[in-house]
Chain A
Amino acid sequence: MELSGAEILIRVLKEEGVDTIFGFPGGAVIDIYDELVRSDIRHILVRHEQGAVHAADGYARAGNTVGVCLVTSGPGATNTVTGLASAYMDSIPLVVLSGQVPTQLIGNDAFQEVDIVGITRPCTKHNYLVKDIGDLTRTLKEAFYLARSGRPGPVLIDLPKDVVKSKTVYSPIKKVTLKSYNPTYKPNIKQLKKIVELIADAQRPVIFAGGGIILSGASEHLTALARNAQVPVTTSLMGLGGFPGTDPLWLGMIGMHGTYRANMSTGACDLLLSIGVRFDDRVTGKTDSFASQAKIVHIDIDPTSIRKNIPVTIPVVGDCRSTLKELNAMLTKADLGDLKKKRKPWLDQIEEWKSTKPLAYRQTDRIKPQYVVEKLYEITKGQAIVTTEVGQNQMWAAQYYHFDHPNHFITSGGLGCMGFGLPAAIGAQLACPDKTVVDIAGDGSIQMNIQEMATAMQYCLPVKIVILNNGYLGMVRQWQELFYDKRYACTDMEHAPDFVKLAEAYGAVGLRATKPQDVEAVLKEGLSVAKPVIMDFAVEREESVYPMVPAGAPITEMLLV
């Protein structure tokens, strides 16, 4: 039987287990929408295509699946670029379907035509323009396979209108193989043996884990490794939740706004086990001084991550999950001696760093943003899914909300994309309807995709937005204060909407706290409402995030409170 391109598309989406699509219709995708509404796939109508991609990103992360978007040609497609770039940097599996003008018009500067394959080439794992309906099934299957396998990432498929309308006989494809793409999952055992020896010999080992732990579902293996070998753990921003944030071996986050003990122990360690990381500049600071006393082991599925920024002693290409599982099995057989005794001086040193220089802020009669996050952590018992915007709000969320589980902290780590948190929270809430989902936001970044409030209302998604409102673009202001003689060029948001009324205008609930003693009550009330809620906290205007490593300095040289 012959099927149209649109029918084939829906069939393949169903085969791939897609139950939710984030999108926004337009001329070039009317045929797809016409077919989509006849299927049982749920469509979430966003208010801006950037919101669709971030929502799919949040959905993919919270639900451990592939996020799918559908947008029209031209502006619909260009609006996805920021979301794609963010997902690409953070290795999030997405499939974005964009409409395109009919094939005979491509290249003619047709209405709503744009070369989206050309535009998104550097910010997707791969992308396709389907010019022939005969290639449609294979392309769709390849896209899902590429998005979720190896180091995951976003894939875009550009679908000209005539290809979607034309018909062909549908022949299902069961298995995808690509001769040029074969990710290495299984590690080299010889390399693992060397790691076991290094762990046995190390006096001051540290584990530095990243997003790869979460993407590969390796948290339990990481936790087992740390506990069995008695090695303290720090993670990058992307790795938060990959190791329990309440474990005694937890060092806190590493890097520019990492904890004192995480950065100091990285500087002093003699073995750094780096797992599922890519040594971002926000993690390493000055690379020459990074873990300069340590032998460095680097485990990652992407060979290009290894030796890109940091020279390593033992490189291992492999999936974090399979590698750690194998490594743990080898460690249990190895003779590591009396670890408790051997590690004691090192763990005592770390404990001293922790007690003398803990994460800290000064309470005043104003609301401190850190205090809001601490209270949120207490009230939600650390069980909420937290999304963030970007800037100070993101760092305070990372520092003061202690994540015990993977897939609970959802942030635009690599791209650092303001406007991410609200749509991502919408996606996360759809993936996990029974969870409390909170977007920790700033007053600047929440306004970048505030229109998605309407989406949250339309689908009754009770996302909670905590605005740490300082009236500034706070992180840039902080840099201006510290490194630009307090010249606050264009960071004072002199006019802002009344967020309580704005929430009400959307039909949501708006609450405000202006004094520290109101914080708890507002959080409790806001979190108990089964509707979208904006909680506006008027916080200390010139509060800064500490510790802070100035850009380009060694991470052991921190500015403290």
Chain B
Amino acid sequence: MREEKHIFTMLVDNEPGVLSRVVGLFSGRGFNIDSLVVAETVDPKVSRITLVSKADQPVIEQIEKQLNKLINVIKIRDLTGPEAVKREMALICVNAKSDHRAEILRIVDIFRCKVVDVGLEHYIIEVTGTGEKVAALLQLLKPMGIKKIARTGPLALLREPS
């Protein structure tokens, strides 16, 4: 069966050990995690975990059910479809020697991202957008030499009904 990427978002009790229950479930049952983002919500007792996993349909169904079974998981939703907004963020440190500096700034402008740190030979660029956008930006910056990169996985939020 074909493997598909699914993005799950869940509200969990903001308690020690909860993340370990979620992650332990994946390792213990041989499911994979592509990416994982965790932070507190407006209610300090509740955190939101956004998790991407790649698997075939029956396994995706198991993942959702197994996560639901964890006592500390309050609510889980599969937000793979278009009903949710998805964004990723990356910080990219790129080589910026004098002959490339203008070109990099042009790319930053086109992609509507920001330079958040400048040195004599580097820029750190902050980019937010879909996974495709981040990938496209990296593609363009690659020839200049990417020194290092830090990337979040996707975040997703259900759109309000219009």
A interface residues with partner B (beta carbon < 8 Å): 117-118, 121-122, 125-126, 129, 146, 178-181, 302-304, 307-308, 311
Contact A308 B21 (CB under 8 A): no
Contact A180 B65 (CB under 8 A): no
B interface residues with partner A (beta carbon < 8 Å): 13, 17, 20-21, 24, 28, 58, 61-62, 65-66, 68-69, 71-75
Contact A307 B71 (CB under 8 A): no
Contact B71 A121 (CB under 8 A): no
Q: Which of B17, B20, B28, B73 contacts A180 (CB 8 A)?
A: B73
Closest Cβ neighbor of B11 among chain A residues: A180
Q: Distance in Å from the Cβ of B21 to the closest Cβ of chain A?
A: 6
Question: What is the number of contacts between chain A and chain B, taking CB atoms within 8 Å?
Answer: 35
Contact A303 B73 (CB under 8 A): no
Docked CA distance A412–B37 (Å):
39
User: Assuming A304-B65, A304-B66, A307-B58, is B71 touching A126 (CB within 8 A)?
Assistant: yes
Q: Which residues of B contact A146 (CB under 8 A)?
A: 71
Closest Cβ neighbor of A180 among chain B residues: B74
Contact B71 A118 (CB under 8 A): no
User: Assuming A180-B73, A180-B74, is B62 touching A308 (CB within 8 A)?
Assistant: yes
Q: Distance in Å from the Cβ of B33 to the closest Cβ of chain A?
A: 16
Q: Which residues of B contact A308 (CB under 8 A)?
A: 62
Q: Which residues of B contact A303 (CB under 8 A)?
A: 65, 68-69
Contact B66 A121 (CB under 8 A): no
Contact A181 B58 (CB under 8 A): no
Q: Which residues of A contact B72 (CB under 8 A)?
A: 180
Docked CA distance A178–B20 (Å):
20
Contact A304 B58 (CB under 8 A): no
Contact B28 A179 (CB under 8 A): no
User: Assuming A117-B17, A180-B13, A180-B74, is B28 touching A304 (CB within 8 A)?
Assistant: no
User: Assuming A121-B21, A122-B24, is B66 touching A179 (CB within 8 A)?
Assistant: no
Docked CA distance A180–B71 (Å):
6
Docked CA distance A125–B69 (Å):
9
Docked CA distance A181–B69 (Å):
8
Docked CA distance A304–B68 (Å):
9
Q: Which residues of A contact B21 (CB under 8 A)?
A: 121
Which 5 interchain pairs have the tightest Cβ spacing? A180-B74, A304-B65, A126-B71, A303-B65, A122-B28
Q: Which residues of A contact B61 (CB under 8 A)?
A: 307
Contact A302 B58 (CB under 8 A): no
Closest Cβ neighbor of A127 among chain B residues: B17
Q: Which residues of B contact A181 (CB under 8 A)?
A: 71
Contact B62 A179 (CB under 8 A): no
Docked CA distance A307–B57 (Å):
11
Q: Distance in Å from the Cβ of A521 to the closest Cβ of chain B?
A: 51
Docked CA distance A311–B58 (Å):
9
Q: Which of B21, B24, B69 has the most CB of A within 10 A?
A: B69
Q: Distance in Å from the Cβ of A149 to the closest Cβ of chain B?
A: 11
Closest Cβ neighbor of A126 among chain B residues: B71
Q: Which residues of B contact A178 (CB under 8 A)?
A: 71
Docked CA distance A178–B12 (Å):
12
Q: Distance in Å from the Cβ of B61 to the closest Cβ of chain A?
A: 6
Q: Which of B13, B17, B74 has the most CB of A within 10 A?
A: B17
Q: Which residues of A contact B73 (CB under 8 A)?
A: 180
Q: Which residues of B contact A302 (CB under 8 A)?
A: 69
12 contacts between A and B (CB under 8 A): A121-B17, A121-B24, A129-B17, A178-B71, A179-B74, A180-B13, A180-B71, A303-B69, A304-B69, A307-B61, A307-B62, A311-B58
Docked CA distance A125–B66 (Å):
12
Docked CA distance A181–B17 (Å):
18
Q: Which residues of A contact B68 (CB under 8 A)?
A: 303
Contact A118 B20 (CB under 8 A): yes
Docked CA distance A538–B73 (Å):
53
Contact A304 B20 (CB under 8 A): no
Q: Which of A117, A121, A122, A304 contacts B62 (CB 8 A)?
A: A304
Closest Cβ neighbor of B76 among chain A residues: A180
Q: Distance in Å from the Cβ of A467 to the closest Cβ of chain B?
A: 36
Q: Distance in Å from the Cβ of B153 to the closest Cβ of chain A?
A: 23
Closest Cβ neighbor of B12 among chain A residues: A180
